[in-house]
Amino acid sequence: MSTATRGNRETPTTAAPEDVRVGQTLQALMYKEELTIEGFLIRRKITHDELANGIVLPNKRCVTRSYISQICSGRKHLNNDMLYAIARYLGVNPIAIKLPDMDRELVAA
């Protein structure tokens, strides 16, 4: 007798180390400097929702807060379109997100 396996999906239980590292780097870069009403310059954390609403993809697709959260946790891979859109919004070089060690070497040179 065979057992039916219908409905069971194989899902990866662990995230790729590269995706986890990129997510951690992205989380570290998600800060924005703002001027308060009193004239003080503060640095505050950008929320996943704010990032999702602020980025614009080339094909005008919508990005959800959940998708940003999955990228930051390493459960989703950061594709190039999303990489460039996030880097543009954060005002950083895309290399600073994907290859932070390489970005430090370029700045030092």
Second-level CATH architecture of 17-96: Orthogonal Bundle (1.10)
3-state secondary structure the chain: CCCCCCCCCCCCCCCCHHHHHHHHHHHHHCEEEEECCCCCEEEEECCHHHHHHHCCCCCCCCCCHHHHHHHHHCCCCCCHHHHHHHHHHHCCCHHHHHCHHHHHHHHHC
Q: What is the pLDDT of residues 49-97, one digit of tens each?
A: 999 999 988 887 788 999 999 999 999 999 999 999 999 999 999 999 9
Compute the average pLDDT of residues 98-105.
68
Domain residue ranges in the chain: 17-96
Does the predicted model carry a pTM greater than 0.85? no
